[in-house]
Copies of this chain bind each other. A is one copy, B any other.
């Protein structure tokens, strides 16, 4: 399963960058070319081109060909992969968290040192 693991590697790493998350947010509104995507930022076009490539290799976006333009659009499938992974463990964590209260209630006889709550 190096395959799906590697896809998750790239997908999570891709979304770890705020610029790339912003690109995704804007692409959710409408497809765009690299030039259009690059315009709002004060970095070079090549930098954005690299970002788009990272998103593409992560399977988060795809590109088509329209003359010399390469319109970029989101690819929802990989997002599903991520939410599926996250939700699986979030659910287990919450279930265990619910049971944690009962566990703590049973064994919290000598917990006199919790003076700080969240």
Contacts and interface: CB of A to CB of B under 8 A. Distances in A.
Contacts of A42: none
Interface in A73-118: 73-76, 79-80, 82-83, 85-90, 92-94, 96-97, 100, 108, 111
Interface bin, chain A: 35 or more
B76 A80 contact: no
The number of times this chain is found in the oligomer is 2
A9 B22 CA distance: 12
Given A9-B16, A16-B12, A24 B89 contact: yes
B13 A12 contact: yes
Contacts of A90: 76, 79-80, 83
Contact of A83 (B13, B24, B83, B92): B83
